[in-house]
DNA sequence: AACATTATGTAATAATATAACATTAACAAG
DNA sequence: CTTGTTAATGTTATATTATTACATAATGTT
């Protein structure tokens, strides 16, 4: 606790913090190059700088990647520090994405066994449909 | 049944059939450009020709896209003509992908309701872990 | 035959992501 | 406090994945 760098205490470096803040404020998933354009004024100039921060943020569970959209959202499931098990609903019209945190669902999936009896502690589930507004 | 074009009867055009055959024979998911390189000798020269065939094959449920890998595999769930509900296991070491067809799982997910009581008839689930060989 | 729909061909380019290499900051151990 | 180690950064170039735009041909229907 002798360092004055509060960001390190949160385990986020400068670039990671800038990019996390942007994603966290966003009401919708952000794509890597949209992030890049947004943070160029803050000195992050190259795609790789963005992708490295995104990789780390995903690794530590602060954000999730929506695979079907190549976009990133902040984790809103306060209990998940490291994201291994994720579920989202995605509106096929307005593209609104919501993280699902259902104990029942996560228990079911964590305990799911395939034909060979294999269990998987990591998964990603994306539901598609129409959100309330778009129905 | 008066046409002599058996491919049309299967609802697959020439390019679609070439690309489906390749994917169907492959023991592992194929990426779009790997497919392109493989079918260039058969006259399919441009990425767009591949992507158009892939789009159609996904639409009619003959193949599935593994979103986390940007790769495609043939549907091995004989009952699914139109793919709305898919589940896969993916080995994080050897990248082997297996389609999961579990009545229990599909029933559970088809009946899953989110906090607002919303149901979703379309989903994609990807489990990650180590396959038997890689354990 | 006329029309509509689906598929194809081709060129160009957009969007997404990584490799390779050099440098700097953070931090733990002696 | 300096040495070694790991994590993060900066920069250029390039690889990979996917789409736009436009023209043509094949197929299916009335």
| pLDDT, tens only, A55-95 | 999 999 999 999 999 999 999 886 555 679 999 999 999 99
Has residue B106 been placed in a domain?
Answer: yes
Quick check: B48 CB within 7 A of strand D?
yes
Model confidence, pTM: 0.92
Average pLDDT over residues B122-134: 96
Q: Output the pLDDT for position A88.
A: 98
CATH of the domain at B32: 1.10.10.10
- Please state the domain count of chain B: 1
The pLDDT > 90 percentage for chain B reads: 84
Chain A nearest C-alpha distance from B19 (Å): 22
Q: Output the pLDDT for position B53.
A: 98
Q: Which of A75-84, A124-133, B79-88 has the highest mean pLDDT?
A: A124-133
The conformational region for residue B41 under phi > 0 = left, psi -120 to 50 = alpha, else beta, is alpha
The pLDDT > 70 percentage for chain A reads: 89
CA-to-C1' distance for A49 and D13, Å? 15
pLDDT score of B5 more than 60 = no
Residues of A whose CB is below 8 A from B132: 116, 118
- Which residues span the domain enclosing B112? 6-129
Has residue B91 been placed in a domain?
Answer: yes
Has residue A114 been placed in a domain?
Answer: yes
Nearest Cα residue in chain B from A65: B68
Q: Using the beta-carbon criterion (under 8 Å), do B114 and A98 form an inter-chain contact?
A: yes
Smallest CA–C1' separation from A49: which nucleotide?
A: D9
Report CA A41 to chain centroid distance, whole Å.
23
Has residue B135 been placed in a domain?
Answer: no
HEC letters along A57-88: HHHCCCEEEECCCCEEEECCCCCCCCCCEEEE
């Amino acid at each position: 606790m002798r360092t004055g760098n509060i960001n390190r205490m949160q385990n986020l470096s400068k670039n990671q913090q800038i990019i996390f803040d942007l994603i966290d404020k966003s009401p919708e998933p952000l794509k890597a190059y949209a992030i890049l354009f947004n943070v160029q004024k803050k000195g992050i100039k190259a795609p790789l700088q963005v992708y490295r921060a995104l990789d780390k943020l995903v690794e530590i569970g602060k954000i999730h990647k929506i695979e079907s959209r190549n976009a990133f959202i902040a984790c809103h499931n306060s209990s998940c520090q490291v994201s291994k098990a994720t579920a989202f609903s995605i509106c096929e019209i307005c593209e609104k994405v919501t993280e699902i945190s259902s104990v029942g669902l996560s228990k079911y999936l964590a305990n799911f066994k395939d034909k060979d009896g294999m269990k998987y502690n990591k998964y990603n589930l994306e539901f598609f449909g129409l959100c309330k507004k778009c129905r």
